[in-house]
Structure 1
Amino acid sequence: MAPSAVYDDLESISDAIDHVNVLKGKRHTSMEWNTESQFDASKDKTGFRQYDTAVERVQKFYAEQHAKQTIAHNLAARAHFHSASRVRPELTVWEAMERLNAIIDDSDPDTELSQIQHLLQSAEAIRRDGKPRWMQLVGLIHDLGKLMLEFDLADGQWDVVGDTFPVGCRFDSRNIYPDTFSTNPDSQNPVFGSEMGIYHAGCGIDQLMMSWGHDEYLYQVVRDQSTIPPEGLAMIRYHSFYPWHKEGAYREFMADGDEKLLEAVKAFNPYDLYSKSDEVPNAEELKPYYLELIDEFFPVKKVKW
C-alpha cells in the first residue's frame, strides 16, 4: 500500500472510532478548565456517521488491537522509543503540524478540513470557551502523536489509534469489545491475566503501562520538553482511556490526586470528539497567536520526536 494510502486509511479508521464513541454517548463536560463546554451546545450531531455503518470496521480494528497489545509489545515499543541509537527527528511544534498535514490527506468524510485546520479548530473551540492557554495548546497538539507512524514507532493502525487500556493486568470487561481480548496471550498468563497483575491497589494511574499509541507517544514526547501542567498531560495521555473516564473501570488503581486528573480528562473529551465543523480556520491568520502559545510552553523550540 502506498504511504499516502496508509495515512488516509489511518485517518479513516480513527474517524470511525471517534464516531462510535460519539454515538455511544461517550461525552463528558466538566470548568476554569473544568467548566462545561459551550462550543458544542447547539451542534447538530445527527450529521455524524451512524453507529451501524462504523461498527463493523471498528470491530475488526479492535479485534486486531486487542490481540496484539501485549505487555511484550509495549515493553519493546518503549525500548525502541527510548533507545540511544534511535535518531529522534527534531521539529518545532508548528513544523510537526505541517508534517502531519503533508502525510495525511483529507480523507475524513465528515469534514473537508486539512489536519492543521482540524487542530486549530479544536484549539479555537477551547479558546472560545475561555479555557486556559495551556489547554488551548493541548487542543492544538493532541493529534500530533500520529507522526509515530512516520517515525517508525508503530507497527500498524492498531498501535496508533483507538481506545487505550492498561497492559499487565486483567483486561476489564468494560473495555470496548472485551471478548476480543481472548486472543491476547496475556489474558492466559497467570500474572498478566490476574486482577491486579503487576500492579497493586492504589498504585496510581500514572503507574499503569498504557497500551502503546499516539496518545502515549505524544505524552512521552512532551512531558519532559514542555511546561504543560499535570492536568494537560493527563488530557494528552488518557483522553482515549474510555474504560476509565467513561465506564468507571480501573478505579481500584487510583491514588490521591487521580480524581483531579480524571476530571481534567473528562473536561477535554468534548473538544476531542465534537470540534469538527465546516467552518474553516484561517491558519495564516491564527499562526502568530499559536506560535506565541507554543513558545510559552515549549522552552526548547526544536522538539525531539
Structure 2
Amino acid sequence: MTILVEKPEVVAKVEDQNETSDLVLDGGFVVSKDVAGNDGCVKPEALVSNNEFITPEINAFGQTFREYNAESERQKGVEEFYRLNHIHQTYDFVKKMREEYRKLNRVEMSIWECCELLNEVVDDSDPDLDEPQIEHLLQTAEAIRKDYPDEDWLHLTALIHDLGKVLLLPSFGGLPQWAVVGDTHPVGCPFDGSIVHHKYFKDNPDYNNAKYNSSKYGIYAHGIGLENVLMSWGHDDYMYLVAKENGTTLPQAGLFIIRYHSFYPLHKCGVYKHLMNKEDEDNLKWLKIFNKYDLYSKSKVRLDVEKVKPYYLSLIEKYFPAKLKW
C-alpha cells in the first residue's frame, strides 16, 4: 500500500529577537535557540513553526558541522575512511553487494530490536559525533516530531534512517566502515568534484573507464530517475531494501529519505539533478527538510529512551510488520 503525502510547505516567520529560551524535546534533549550562520543552515525567515529546531553553530567537538579539513585525530580517521571508500566503491562492487544483501537471509527481528543493536555501532565517517548511533536516531526523530507533529511517518523515518549501519556487525557480514557509512554518490558515471575528499577517486578503477566517463550521464540518461541509478553501497541502500522488501506502508517520500539521506552531493550541492525525474524532485523537498534535523541535532546530550519508546513502538506497529527479514 502506498501512502501519499502532501508536498511540504515552508511558512515564513520573523524570529523574535528577544526570545532566548531553549527547545526541550520529549526525551529530554535540549537545543540552543541561537541561530547558526554556517553554510547549509536554514535561515530564520524560512522556518516552519513557533518552536522550530534551530541549527547550532558548532558540533560536539567545538567545530563547524561537516568540517572535513580541521586538524584533529578524528578528522584524520575520517579522511582515511573516505580514501578507502573512494578507492573501493566501484560499479561492480555495488552490483555485487546489492545482489547479496537483497536476499535478506541473515537475521529476523523487529525494528526496535535493530535500534538497540545500534548501541554497538559508532560511525567512523562522521566528523560531528562519536556517540552510539541509537542516540542520533532518537535525537533526529524527536527534533522532527517537535516541528512536524502531524507527520508521524516522518518521525519514524527519522528513527530508522540509519538502521542499515548494522551491516558493520558480524551477524550482518561485518562489512568494513567504507562499505557501510559515509556520504553516498552514484556509480556508473563521473565522480563529481563536490564529493568529499574527491582526490582519492583517482585510484578507483572506474575513474578512467571511458564507459562511465564519456559524458556526465555515464551509462544513464537524462531524467532516468534515481530509482534506476546505482548508488555507492552502504547503510542507506540496505535499509531501503529492508523496508521495501518487508512491505512497509511508509510513503514514497519516507523511502526516498532513507535511500538518499547520505547523498550530500545532491541535496547539499545540487549536483546530479540531471538524473532525477519529477517524482525525485517532489521527494527531494522532504529530504531537504529531513537533512536539517539529521545533521544538526547531533549532540552529547543523552535522551530518556524509555520515555519516548512507547510512542515509537506504536509507529513501528503502524507502518511495519512485527518481524522483518534482514
TM-score by length of structure 1 reads 0.81
Instruction: Indicate whether 1:254 and 2:267 are aligned.
Output: no
What SS is found at the alignment partner of 1:167? coil
Match of 2:99 in 1: 79
Instruction: Indicate whether 1:138 and 2:152 are aligned.
Output: no
Asked whether the equivalents of residues 28 and 269 of structure 1 are also in contact (C-alpha less than 8 Å), the reply is no
Decide which of 9, 33, 58 is 1:45's aligned counterpart. 58
What SS is found at the alignment partner of 1:99? helix
- Evaluate the alpha carbon distance shift between residue 257 and residue 109 of structure 1 in structure 2; reply closer, same or farther with a 3 A threshold: closer
Q: Map 1:158-169 to 2 at 5 A.
A: 158-169=178-189
- Evaluate the alpha carbon distance shift between residue 139 and residue 255 of structure 1 in structure 2; reply closer, same or farther with a 3 A threshold: same
Match of 2:23 in 1: none
Match of 1:271 in 2: 293
Decide which of 235, 251, 254 is 1:229's aligned counterpart. 251
- How far did residue 94 of structure 1 move? 0.7
Structure 1 gap ranges (5+): 1-21
- How far did residue 126 of structure 1 move? 0.9
Instruction: Indicate whether 1:128 and 2:146 are aligned.
Output: yes
- Evaluate the alpha carbon distance shift between residue 130 and residue 219 of structure 1 in structure 2; reply closer, same or farther with a 3 A threshold: same
- Evaluate the alpha carbon distance shift between residue 104 and residue 174 of structure 1 in structure 2; reply closer, same or farther with a 3 A threshold: closer
- How far did residue 118 of structure 1 move? 3.1
Structure 1 Cα separation of the partners of residues 184 and 283 of structure 2: 16
Asked whether the equivalents of residues 60 and 298 of structure 2 are also in contact (C-alpha less than 8 Å), the reply is no
Structure 1 Cα separation of the partners of residues 242 and 86 of structure 2: 24
Match of 1:203 in 2: 224
Q: Give me the identity figure in percent.
A: 42
- Evaluate the alpha carbon distance shift between residue 56 and residue 124 of structure 1 in structure 2; reply closer, same or farther with a 3 A threshold: same
- Evaluate the alpha carbon distance shift between residue 234 and residue 154 of structure 1 in structure 2; reply closer, same or farther with a 3 A threshold: farther
Asked whether the equivalents of residues 28 and 266 of structure 1 are also in contact (C-alpha less than 8 Å), the reply is no
Match of 1:98 in 2: 116
Decide which of 195, 208, 215 is 2:236's aligned counterpart. 215
- How far did residue 170 of structure 1 move? 1.1
- How far did residue 24 of structure 1 move? 7.2
CA RMSD of aligned residues (A): 2.9
TM-score by length of structure 2 reads 0.76
Question: Could you tell me which amino acid in structure 1 is paired with residue 184 of structure 2?
Answer: T
Q: Identify, as 1 or 2, the structure richer in helix.
A: 1
Match of 1:7 in 2: none
Structure 2 Cα separation of the partners of residues 36 and 199 of structure 1: 40
- Evaluate the alpha carbon distance shift between residue 99 and residue 165 of structure 1 in structure 2; reply closer, same or farther with a 3 A threshold: same
Q: Across the two proteins, how many residue pairs are aligned to each other? A: 277
- Evaluate the alpha carbon distance shift between residue 211 and residue 119 of structure 1 in structure 2; reply closer, same or farther with a 3 A threshold: same
Question: Could you tell me which amino acid in structure 2 is paired with residue 40 of structure 1?
Answer: F
Match of 1:147 in 2: 166
- How far did residue 26 of structure 1 move? 3.8
- How far did residue 46 of structure 1 move? 6.0
Structure 2 gap ranges (5+): 1-35
Q: Map 1:277-296 to 2 at 5 A.
A: 277-296=299-318
Decide which of 90, 94, 116 is 2:134's aligned counterpart. 116
Question: Could you tell me which amino acid in structure 1 is paired with residue 224 of structure 2?
Answer: C
Match of 1:19 in 2: none
Asked whether the equivalents of residues 117 and 282 of structure 1 are also in contact (C-alpha less than 8 Å), the reply is no
Match of 2:261 in 1: 239
